[in-house]
C-alpha cells in the first residue's frame, strides 16, 4: 500500500453480503469488472485497514528461491537430490529448468487459459459454479462468502482423471489442457522420486503412497487492477496437498513467498516451473520438508496468468489415512503430527476461508 493512504477511509461500512451476491450473480468475474473500465476498486475487494497498515511495516525480501537444473538427471542425480532436499527443507519452494516439458506445451496451456477468459462472457457462464463436486468449473474466489476480501482473479478449476478424454473441457482450451496434464503427471513422478530419495527412502516410496493419484489444475487469470495497493490476487496461504507445480506467463511478477517475515518475489525465469511443498507432504515427512506460506499480489499490469497443478492424493478415497512415515520416526525424532483421514482433511479445508486455514495446526501432536 502506498504511504499516506487512509485505509479506514476506503474500508467503510457497507452491505457486504448483498454486494458479494450481486457480483457473483453477474457470473462475469473480475474480468467483467475490469472490462467495464472502472477506476476505483469495488469495496468487496478492499483489504481490511489493519491488514493494509501491517503491510506498510513489512520489509521486502531480496533473496530468490533456488533454481534447479534437471538436465542430466541420471548422471547428476545425487547432486540434484541434495539441491531438492535443501530447497524443500528451507524454502519449501524451488524452480526447475530443463524439466523435459516442451516450451510449446507450457505456452499452449497459458494460451488456452487466456482464450477461455477472453471469450464471450456467455460462453464462460456455462461453466460458472460454486459446486466443488464439478470436475470443471469457473468462478471468482472459491471462498467468496467466507473470506474477508474477495481476490482479484478468476479461476478455471479442472479435476484431471487418468481415464478422462477431456470431452467435458471447454473447447477453447481442451487440447492444450489434456497435453499439459499428461506432462504434469510425468514431471510429478520425477519430482516425487527425488523427494523420496531426499528423505532417505526408496525412489518410489512416495509414489506408492498414492500422492500423485488424481490432480487438479487451477488456472488463474489476474486482470490489471485499478488500485493494486488495496487489493490482493491470492491471499496468504499454504497449499493443502502434497506437491504443487506452477507455470506462469512472463508478463507480470506476482507470486511471493514468505521467508523470515519478508515477502520475496518469485521472479519468472524463462522456461522454468515453480515447485512447492504442500501441507500433506510436510505432515508425512514429519516436518522435515516445509510447506511455506505464499500469495499473489495484484498489479496495474495484466493479465497475469498462472496454472497451478495440485497433487493432493486420492481425495475420493475419504477413508485413506496419512500420517508421519514410520521410517522417519525414532526416539530422537518422534511424530509431531497425528494421522488424518483424507475425507476429514478435505472437509476441514472446504469449510474454512483460505486466509484463516492452516491445516497443519489441526494435526499437531
Give the pLDDT of the chain (365 residues) as one tens digit per residue.
Answer: 444 444 444 445 568 999 999 999 999 999 999 999 999 999 999 999 999 998 888 878 777 899 999 999 999 999 999 999 999 999 999 999 999 999 999 999 999 999 999 999 999 999 999 998 899 999 999 889 888 899 999 999 999 875 556 789 999 999 999 999 999 999 999 999 999 999 999 999 999 999 998 899 999 999 999 999 999 999 999 999 999 999 999 767 799 999 888 899 998 888 999 999 999 999 999 999 999 999 999 999 989 999 999 999 998 888 999 999 999 999 999 999 999 999 888 888 777 656 666 778 888 99
The reply to whether 1 falls in a domain is: no
Instruction: Report the CATH number at residue 84.
Output: 2.60.120.330
The reply to whether 2 falls in a domain is: no
Print the domain residue range for 219: 7-362
The reply to whether 204 falls in a domain is: yes
Residue 41 to residue 52: CA distance in whole angstroms: 14
257-266 burial code (b ≥16 CB/10 A, e <16): bbbeeebbbb
The reply to whether 232 falls in a domain is: yes
Residue 115 to residue 108: CA distance in whole angstroms: 10
The reply to whether 84 falls in a domain is: yes
Q: Give me the residue label for grid cell 491471499.
A: 235
Q: Confirm if 298 and 234 have CB atoms less than 8 A apart.
A: no
Q: Confirm if 253 and 267 have CB atoms less than 8 A apart.
A: yes
Alpha helices by DSSP H, listed for the chain, are: 7-10, 16-26, 29-35, 49-57, 77-90, 103-117, 121-125, 174-198, 205-208, 279-284, 342-350, 359-362
CA distances from 35 to 78, 176, 252, 318, 329 (A): 51, 26, 19, 41, 55
The reply to whether 121 falls in a domain is: yes
- Overall domain count for the chain: 1
Residue 68 to residue 99: CA distance in whole angstroms: 9
Q: Confirm if 57 and 259 have CB atoms less than 8 A apart.
A: no
The reply to whether 90 falls in a domain is: yes
Residue 298 to residue 295: CA distance in whole angstroms: 10
Residue 38 to residue 22: CA distance in whole angstroms: 16
Q: What is the pLDDT of residue 130?
A: 92
* Contacts of 71 by beta carbon, 8 Å cutoff, 6+ apart: 97, 98
Residue 246 to residue 225: CA distance in whole angstroms: 22
**Three-class secondary structure of residue 304 per DSSP:** strand
Q: What are phi and psi of 123, to 5 degrees?
A: -70, -40
Q: What is the pLDDT of residue 355?
A: 62
The reply to whether 293 falls in a domain is: yes
Q: Confirm if 128 and 27 have CB atoms less than 8 A apart.
A: yes
| pTM beyond 0.85 | yes
Q: Supply the DSSP symbol for 364.
A: B
Q: Confirm if 206 and 195 have CB atoms less than 8 A apart.
A: yes
Q: Confirm if 207 and 199 have CB atoms less than 8 A apart.
A: no
Q: What is the pLDDT of residue 354?
A: 63
Amino acid at each position: 500500500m502506498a504511504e499516506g493512504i487512509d485505509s479506514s477511509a476506503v474500508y467503510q461500512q457497507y452491505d457486504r453480503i448483498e454486494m458479494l451476491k450481486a457480483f457473483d450473480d453477474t457470473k462475469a468475474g473480475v474480468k467483467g469488472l475490469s472490462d467495464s473500465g472502472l477506476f476505483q476498486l469495488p469495496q468487496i475487494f478492499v483489504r481490511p485497514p489493519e491488514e493494509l497498515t501491517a503491510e506498510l511495516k513489512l520489509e521486502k525480501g531480496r533473496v530468490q528461491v533456488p533454481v534447479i537444473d534437471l538436465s542430466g538427471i541420471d548422471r547428476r542425480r545425487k547432486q540434484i537430490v541434495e539441491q531438492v532436499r535443501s530447497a524443500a527443507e528451507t524454502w519449501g519452494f524451488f524452480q526447475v529448468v530443463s524439466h523435459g516439458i516442451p516450451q510449446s506445451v507450457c505456452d499452449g496451456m497459458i494460451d488456452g487459459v487466456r482464450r477461455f477468459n477472453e471469450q464471450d462472457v456467455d460462453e464462460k457462464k456455462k461453466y460458472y459454479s460454486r459446486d466443488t463436486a464439478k470436475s470443471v468449473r469457473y468462478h471468482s474466489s472459491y471462498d467468496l462468502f467466507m473470506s474477508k476480501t474477495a481476490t482479484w482473479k478468476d479461476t478455471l478449476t479442472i479435476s484431471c482423471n487418468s481415464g478422462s478424454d477431456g470431452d467435458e473441457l471447454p473447447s477453447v482450451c481442451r487440447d492444450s489442457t489434456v497435453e499439459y496434464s499428461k506432462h504434469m503427471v510425468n514431471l510429478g513422478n520425477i519430482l516425487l522420486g527425488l523427494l523420496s530419495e531426499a528423505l532417505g527412502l526408496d525412489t518410489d516410496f512416495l509414489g506408492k503412497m498414492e500422492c500423485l493419484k488424481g490432480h487438479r489444475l487451477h488456472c488463474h487469470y489476474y486482470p490489471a487492477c485499478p488500485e493494486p495497493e488495496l487489493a490482493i490476487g491470492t491471499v496468504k496461504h499454504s497449499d493443502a496437498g502434497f506437491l504443487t507445480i506452477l507455470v506462469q506467463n512472463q508478463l507480470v511478477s506476482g507470486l511471493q513467498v514468505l521467508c523470515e517475515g519478508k515477502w520475496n518475489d518469485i521472479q519468472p525465469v524463462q522456461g522454468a516451473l515453480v515447485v512447492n511443498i504442500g501441507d500433506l507432504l510436510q505432515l508425512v515427512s514429519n516436518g522435515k520438508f516445509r510447506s511455506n506460506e505464499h500469495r499473489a499480489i495484484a498489479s496495474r499490469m495484466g493479465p497475469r496468468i498462472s496454472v497451478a497443478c495440485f497433487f493432493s492424493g486420492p481425495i475420493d478415497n475419504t477413508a485413506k489415512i496419512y500420517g508421519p512415515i514410520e521410517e522417519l520416526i525414532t526416539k530422537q525424532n518422534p511424530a509431531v503430527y497425528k494421522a488424518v483421514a483424507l475425507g476429514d482433511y478435505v472437509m476441514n479445508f472446504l469449510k474454512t476461508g483460505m486466509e484463516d486455514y492452516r491445516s497443519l495446526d489441526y494435526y499437531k501432536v
